Amino acid sequence: MNVLKKYAQAAGMTDEAWKRHANPWSVWTRFAAIPLMIAAIWSREWLGWWALVPVGLVVVWLAVNPHVFPAVEQPGSWSARGIYGEKLWLRDRSLVTGDHRNVQRLLIGVGAAGFALLIWGLIALDGWPTVFGATLITLGQLWRIDRLGQLYLAHRDTAPE
């Protein structure tokens, strides 16, 4: 079992949880957590060790988020198709072929670069690498969701529910 499957299992990503996570509110509020986490970490400048409280709140939100919204049975929205595609991809990596695989690899690189810049910016409390890193992460994730939505559309007739 690969790392992502282990993570999904540890996070309690049952079939019902995947359906709840496909709710657009789940997807978009996870994106909203990015600037909240940045602000929480940055707040160490003003709050000292008390900054762990807002950091902890964001972490708790990210943990419960895929479980709190109503389930999406038929993915009609762009974000829901992306999450259903992610579920398919985790179950069978061979579904991603050719150009889709190359784009996935590119997105891993974009995300890693963004994460490195974000960490650098947060450690140094420097705005440009923080904002640029968060932007790369966000754009990479949006592109990834789009590609996984295309994967879902290509394989929805053969996908087990």
Give the pLDDT confidence of 51-98 residue by residue, as tens digits.
999 999 999 999 999 999 999 999 999 999 999 999 998 888 888 888
Percentage of the chain lying above the pLDDT 90 cut: 71
Give the pLDDT confidence of 97-127 residue by residue, as tens digits.
888 788 888 888 999 999 999 999 999 999 9
Distance from first CA to last CA of the chain, Å, rounded? 21
Q: How far apart are CA 137 and CA 49, in angstroms?
A: 26
Q: What is the pLDDT of residue 65?
A: 93
Structure tokens of 112? 């890693």
Give the pLDDT confidence of 127-140 residue by residue, as tens digits.
999 999 999 999 99
Amino acid letter at 102?
N
Structure tokens of 102? 């190359």
Q: How far apart are CA 38 and CA 36, in angstroms?
A: 5
Q: In the chain, where are the structural domains located?
A: 3-155
Per-residue HEC secondary structure of the chain comes to CCHHHHHHHHCCCCHHHHHHHCCHHHHHHHHHHHHHHHHHHHCHHHHHHHHHHHHHHHHHHHHHHHHHCCCCCCCCCHHHHHHHHHHHHHHCHHHCCHHHHHHHHHHHHHHHHHHHHHHHHHHHCCHHHHHHHHHHHHHHHHHHHHHHHHHHHHHCCCCCC
Cα-based distances in Å from 137 to 18, 52, 160: 22, 23, 30
Whole-structure pTM value: 0.85
Rg (Cα) of the chain, in Å, rounded?
A: 17
